[in-house]
Amino acid sequence: MVLKKRDVAIVGIGSTSFGEHWETGLKELVAEAGFAAADDAGIRGKDIELVVVGNMSGGRFVGQEHVAALMADHLGLNPTPAVRVEAACASGGVALREGYMAVASGFYDLVAVGGVEKMTDIYGSGATSALAGAMDFEWEAYFGTTFAGIYALIAQRYMHEYGLTREQLAKVAVKNHYHASFNPLAHFQNRIKVEDVLTSRLVADPLRLLDCSPISDGAACVLLAPAEDARKYTDTPIIIEATKQASGTLSLFMRKNICTIEATTEAANQAFKDAGMSRKDIDVIEVHDCFTISEILSLEDLGFCEKGKGGKLYDDGQTYSDGDLPVNTDGGLKASGHPVGATGVKQIVELVKQLRGEAEKGRQVKGAEIGLAHNLGGSGATVVVTILRRGD
Amino acid sequence: MSRVGIVSYGAYIPRWRLKIEEIARVWNVNAEDYKRGLMLEEKSVPSPDEDTATISVEAARNALKRAEGIKPQEIGALYVGSESHPYAVKPTAAIVAEAIGATPSLTAVDMEFACKAATAGIQACMGMVKAGYIKYGMSIGADTAQSAPGDDLEFTASAGGAAYIIGANDLVAEIEDTYSFTQDVPDFWRREGSKYPKHGGRFTGEPGYFEHVVKCAKGLMSKMGTSPKDYDYAVFHEPNGKFPLRAAKILGFSEDKVKPSMMVCKIGNTYSGSSLLGLAAVLDIAKPGERIMVTSYGSGAGSDSFSIKATEGIEKKRTLAPSVEYYVNQKEYIDYATYSRFKGQLGAE
Amino acid sequence: MSFLGVPSHWRRYKERYRLMGSRCLNCGNVFFPPTKVCPNCRREGRLEDLEFSGKGKVHSFTIIRFAPEGFTEYAPYAIGLIKLDEGPSAISQIVDCGFEDIHIDMPVEACFRKLMAQGKDGIICYGFKFRPANDSWKKP
């Protein structure tokens, strides 16, 4: 379907650091990211016409629903309309797409897209249960499986079918920690070795603690405006070439092949078609690595390598920032952290930094012009693929 | 008079076993004293995710498997006899009926009379069938027996169950007659809210078990004009290995008539499942025409006796579901610490 | 999982106690969990209850070491994604065997077990789990 739409640019970005922020609550996180983005674009609150917030579970974690209204109110934006978007770990990506459509359609001229999650107030089995909401509650969580358990089922089967080794999986985490060691906003900035991953505690066999993204607090924000107005706000507008969303089965056991997330392939194919680009055009990728297996699987489903061959990319070190296929240059979800609702927006913030050439030395991809973000909800029920290009 | 009897039966015993030596080791007592005195080697222990309801369902499903074509919807009554029902108030029988697809057109109730609750359930089914109110009735005896750590009962209290489908046709064994003997005797009890039962020590013997088992069996034989020589098998409630053999001696049954039913040596005292698992073990081997005397015992106190005769139909049906021997041999040993963890005795959240 | 109201447990007793799914009499396909609308036939679909045999094979498995609320006392435990003989798949625990015995393509059969209790005073939730299939009881 062809839409009469205008190009949309990202004109401002902001993010908190991700980690355990004991002294900071939900509101304060959003304020920090929001004001940073506003400063970046040189705007005032009253200029913002719509707020879209990605947040998975304010209710379960801090007893707060009506999160969008809270944001607008706390940021002093009343009476600006605010809407919350929820798609588990894809909340941020979906929020971005909703914000994009609001500007592309001509409805609004300046939209703030945020993502936030405050997770560390509860711990242990309580947090595990809250995250279980991303799966099929009645038929997966009800029987005692956890979110890590679902990805472990995928990893176990994938290793059986394609011969992926534990070492190859570990290399994903090693690479992401390496990138994060240059990222002052990352939850973890320590470098690790394959051996560290292989000796870390088992969480859900075969996945170990260092295969799993952490529980983090954080917020990120981007400002969207029509591309034709972008120069009003920034010297380095980044154009959203395409942002596509696809749905898949909520439960893993309903999927035809558990080693493939069809929604990723669907969204990616549509995005590349819309943008008129091919995989070779992409200079830097933000992939949803909630667990190490997810990064490998997703690179294949996105079309960057053949199914079953993803592990080899890590043996060859190709996914480092100076490699052929830079992936998760900020540390991904594993090392930079995974405040669920914020992640999808943080991925965009990182790509914008890369395309502007503003990322820290050691993780900046030289001459990056086109980036791709892949944000995934649950075990593959919601996927958003976004392609960004450095504006002229 | 119309016939009534056992149309099918099913057994289930959990797979975990705890050896007497292991219990004795923890309490620093002499294992041989207990093995000799109680005449048993090991007892069955349920998994943490098993209870009387789950054991009853497995036994009931086996009974249906063996029943060759009975639809669960044809079961008009379902009784679960136990002293470890999962709820104090909410019937195990309803859970079991739902799980086997027998709902909604049936009567169901939980029975309680220490270890003889399920044999009372069989009598109830017999009445309903004979009176023509129902086509089939099911009675299940199952327990996950509780005992205080360090108490003598800990050596024998185990878990298991057996289910019986009672009807008028396609019998594997006819129930010729039944007789019961009941008195108020405080030999073994548990107050509401108390975690573990208490007992009267040696008082549970003569005035308890033997008084009722012996007089009940005698009462049935007197009623029927039969004597021990008319029976090929005698099954008694098995709280340990010694009591059934002594009861048999008192009554005049030879040891070889009792031994085939004695499961206690290998699985302990399954309480409400005890005499019914003993009967199931005999039905697994009895030839058509052979006669079985079954006498249960429930503390508090009472006994139910049955005179049962195997029919031609038994040989075919017995192969349709697992035997008691199969379950006795499906086993894996655990240590006392694991046993404590399984029973929730370590107090973990 | 936070403790739910009793109707939400009761609503799924048939499915969870008896591994009940649906069969479409129109196209012959079977589904688990049961459905009121056949995804193939839509309006033309005619669905009836189908109780699965409980037999299947392990398609994938894992061991849960960090359990959610209500399950912590049972951890660690095995979870399997089971491909039922009739076609559809289901996820539940694998019991009655050591973790090291579980392998892909292992034949299993369903059994009736306690899943968890809604706290000390709440209702007990039962459902299907899987154990290694064992036909050794059948006489040759």
Per residue in A215-239, pLDDT tens? Answer: 999 999 999 999 999 999 999 999 9
Interchain contact, C113 vs B48, CB within 8 Å: no
Interchain contact, A128 vs C66, CB within 8 Å: yes
pLDDT of the residue at B349: 47
The percent of residues above 90 in pLDDT, for chain C, comes to 86
Angle subtended at Cα A90 by Cα A87 and Cα A95, rounded to the nearest 5 degrees? 80
Q: Flag whether residue C22 sits within 8 Å of chain A, measured between CB atoms.
A: no
Interchain contact, C126 vs B54, CB within 8 Å: yes
Per residue in A27-45, pLDDT tens? Answer: 999 999 999 999 999 999 8
Q: Which of C74, C137, C138 to mutate to test the interface with B (most CBs of B within 10 A)?
A: C137
Segment (H or E) for B339: helix B336-342
- Report how far residue C60's alpha carbon sits from residue C108's, in angstroms, rounded to the nearest whole number: 12
Interchain contact, C74 vs B54, CB within 8 Å: no
For residue B311, which of B180, B194, B172 has the smallest C-alpha distance?
Answer: B172
For residue A61, which of A111, A120, A19, A148 has the smallest C-alpha distance?
Answer: A120
What are the catalytic residues of B? 83, 115, 237
Domain residues of chain C, as ranges? 1-11+54-133, 20-52
- Report how far residue B128's alpha carbon sits from residue B133's, in angstroms, rounded to the nearest whole number: 5
The CATH superfamily holding the domain A8-123+216-232 is Thiolase/Chalcone synthase (3.40.47.10)
pLDDT of the residue at C139: 75
pLDDT along chain B (349 residues), means of 10: 91 98 97 95 97 98 95 98 96 98 98 96 98 97 92 95 97 98 95 90 93 98 97 97 97 97 96 97 98 97 98 95 97 96 74
DSSP secondary-structure letter at A165?
-
Please check whether the domain covering B176-314 is classified as CATH 3.30.1490.190. Answer: no
Amino acid at A176: N
pLDDT of the residue at B1: 56
Q: Which of B45, B47, B49 to mutate to test the interface with C (most CBs of C within 10 A)?
A: B49
Average pLDDT (A337-341) is 96
| Closest-CA distance of chain A to residue C33, Å | 8
Per residue in B199-221, pLDDT tens? Answer: 898 999 999 999 999 999 999 99
* Mean pLDDT of chain A, nearest integer: 95
Average pLDDT (A242-256) is 96
Nearest CB among B58, B321, B349 relative to C112 is that of: B58
Helices (H), chain A: 26-41, 58-62, 67-74, 91-104, 125-131, 147-162, 166-180, 194-199, 262-275, 292-301, 310-315, 332-336, 340-356
Confidence of residue A130 (pLDDT cuts 50, 70, 90): confident
| Closest-CA distance of chain A to residue C136, Å | 28
Contacts of residue A141 in chain C, CB cutoff 8 Å? 1, 68
Q: Which of C14, C126, C136, C139 to mutate to test the interface with B (most CBs of B within 10 A)?
A: C126
- Report how far residue A24's alpha carbon sits from residue A293's, in angstroms, rounded to the nearest whole number: 32
Nearest CB among A138, A203, A258 relative to C65 is that of: A203
Interchain contact, A126 vs C69, CB within 8 Å: yes
Nearest CB among A156, A203, A252 relative to C61 is that of: A156
Domain residues of chain B, as ranges? 5-173+328-339, 176-314
What are the catalytic residues of A? 89, 338
Nearest CB among B49, B98, B348 relative to C113 is that of: B49
- Report how far residue B68's alpha carbon sits from residue A47's, in angstroms, rounded to the nearest whole number: 78
Residue C8: exposure state from Cβ atoms within 10 A (0-12, 13-18, ≥19)? exposed
Strand A218-226 and strand A8-15: the pairing is antiparallel
pLDDT at residue A62 tops 90: no
Is this complex's ipTM strictly greater than 0.90?
yes
Interchain contact, A144 vs C61, CB within 8 Å: no
Around A377, how many Cα atoms within 13 Å sit in the side-chain half-sphere? Answer: 32
Domain residues of chain A, as ranges? 8-123+216-232, 128-215+241-390
| Closest-CA distance of chain A to residue C102, Å | 12
The lowest-confidence range among A163-172, A183-192, B168-177, C118-127 is: C118-127
Q: Which residues pair with residue A387 across a beta bridge?
A: A242, A372
Q: Flag whether residue C116 sits within 8 Å of chain A, measured between CB atoms.
A: yes
pLDDT of the residue at C2: 53
Do B176-314 and B5-173+328-339 have the same topology in CATH? yes
Angle subtended at Cα A53 by Cα A47 and Cα A54, rounded to the nearest 5 degrees? 155
Tokens representing B107 are 């009567």
Confidence of residue C1 (pLDDT cuts 50, 70, 90): very low
Contacts of residue B58 in chain C, CB cutoff 8 Å? 111-112
Interchain contact, C61 vs A153, CB within 8 Å: yes
Tokens representing C119 are 């706290």
Nearest CB among C60, C72, C93 relative to A153 is that of: C60
Q: Which of A136, A205, A211 to mutate to test the interface with C (most CBs of C within 10 A)?
A: A205
CATH of domain B5-173+328-339: 3.40.47.10
- Strands (DSSP E) along C8-106, which ranges? 20-24, 30-31, 47-51, 56-64, 77-84, 89-94
CATH, domain C1-11+54-133, list 3.30.420, 1.10.287, 2.40.50, 3.10.530: 2.40.50
| Closest-CA distance of chain C to residue A246, Å | 19
Interchain contact, C64 vs A204, CB within 8 Å: yes
pLDDT of the residue at A71: 84
Q: Which residue of C has its CA nearest to A203?
A: C65
Average pLDDT (A151-162) is 98
Residues of B engaging C, defined by a Cβ cutoff of 8 Å: 15, 47-51, 53-54, 57-58, 61, 86-87, 90, 95, 98-101, 319, 321-323, 326, 330, 344, 348-349
Interchain contact, B54 vs C137, CB within 8 Å: no
Interchain contact, A145 vs C59, CB within 8 Å: no
Which chains contact B through at least 3 pairs of Cβ atoms less than 8 Å apart?
C
Interchain contact, C17 vs B99, CB within 8 Å: yes
Interchain contact, C69 vs A129, CB within 8 Å: yes
- Report how far residue B172's alpha carbon sits from residue B314's, in angstroms, rounded to the nearest whole number: 4
Q: Which residue of B has its CA nearest to C139?
A: B319
Q: Which residues pair with residue A114 across a beta bridge?
A: A53, A221
CATH architecture, domain defined by A128-215+241-390: 3-Layer(aba) Sandwich (3.40)
Contacts of residue A148 in chain C, CB cutoff 8 Å? 64, 66
Contacts of residue A205 in chain C, CB cutoff 8 Å? 62-63, 65, 99
- Report how far residue A70's alpha carbon sits from residue A55's, in angstroms, rounded to the nearest whole number: 12
